[in-house]
Each structure stands twice: as structure tokens, then as C-alpha cells.
């Protein structure tokens, strides 16, 4: 079983839709959870960073972590064409251990 599983998509939605992106992970020792956005031919950029279970909101983006079910989500409200990108989830244990990434979900928001 892969450490982090993520549906690769592609996911295509109309502008203004609510988008839900999800990952599952296998190791309950993971405590830190992140979402990265990667535009075509660019490096990933950090979008959201959460520690332990709960929700975190930043503008149109909400990150949700459910450690009991080992499930992490990113919600995008009022999606825009500029949100079209690949979204990667990432997890790690503690300290400065390397991140473990999902394979990414490609999202297209159609105007």
C-alpha cells in the first residue's frame, strides 16, 4: 500500500463550482499535512499547512484533516480558471523528516 494515495483525475469543473480534492494515507504517525499547487512547467508552491486534525481556512481554500480515518481534503470555493493546476497533498511525521507526496490531482476549471 502506498503511503499516500491521491486520485490523479483529471477533474474538470465549471467556474464557480466547489471543488473537493482528497488524499488518504496509511501511517498514523503522520502529523503534518500540506497542500501544494503546481502550475504547468513550474515548481509546486505551498498552499495550505495544517497540524493534526481539524480545519484551516484561507480565503477560498479550506484544508481538512481527519486523523481517525487518515483522510485529508482540500476544498476550493467559487473556483476560478486560474485555479487550474495540479494539486499535491503531502504529509510528514515530525521535525525535518522529508515530505511524502501524493501523485497529484489535475484540476481544470472551465470558464
Partner 1 sequence: DVKVTQSSRYLVKRTGEKVFLECVQDMDHENMFWYRQDPGLGLRLIYFSYDVKMKEKGDIPEGYSVSREKKERFSLILESASTNQTSMYLCASRQGSGGYTFGSGTRLTVV
For partner 1, the binding residues (CB under 8 A) are 8, 32, 34, 36, 41-46, 49, 88, 90, 92, 94-96, 98-99, 101-104
In the complex, least distance from residue 101 CB atom to partner 1, rounded to whole angstroms: 4
Q: Which is nearer to partner 1, 16 or 54 (CB)?
A: 54
Q: Which is nearer to partner 1, 59 or 95 (CB)?
A: 95
Separation between Cα atoms, residue 105 and residue 111, nearest integer Å = 19
In the complex, least distance from residue 51 CB atom to partner 1, rounded to whole angstroms: 9
- Per the rule left: phi > 0, alpha: psi between -120 and 50, beta: everything else, 46 is beta
Q: Which is nearer to partner 1, 8 or 16 (CB)?
A: 8
Q: What does the block give as the cell for 59?
A: 480565503
DSSP 2: -
Q: Which is nearer to partner 1, 17 or 73 (CB)?
A: 73
By three-state DSSP, how is residue 49 classified?
A: strand
Q: Dihedral angle at the C-alpha atoms of 41, 21, 104, 56, nearest 10 degrees?
A: 80
Q: What does the block give as the cell for 104?
A: 497529484
In the complex, least distance from residue 17 CB atom to partner 1, rounded to whole angstroms: 25
Amino acid at each position: 500500500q502506498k503511503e499516500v494515495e491521491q486520485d490523479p483525475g483529471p477533474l474538470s469543473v465549471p467556474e464557480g463550482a466547489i471543488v473537493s480534492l482528497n488524499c488518504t494515507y496509511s501511517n498514523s504517525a503522520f502529523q503534518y499535512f500540506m497542500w501544494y499547487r503546481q502550475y504547468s512547467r513550474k515548481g509546486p508552491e505551498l498552499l495550505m499547512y495544517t497540524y493534526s486534525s481539524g480545519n484551516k481556512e484561507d480565503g477560498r481554500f479550506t484544508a481538512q484533516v481527519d486523523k481517525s480515518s487518515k483522510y485529508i481534503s482540500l476544498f476550493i470555493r467559487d473556483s476560478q480558471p486560474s485555479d487550474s493546476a495540479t494539486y499535491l497533498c503531502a504529509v510528514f511525521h515530525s521535525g525535518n523528516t522529508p515530505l511524502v507526496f501524493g501523485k497529484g490531482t489535475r484540476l481544470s476549471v472551465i470558464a
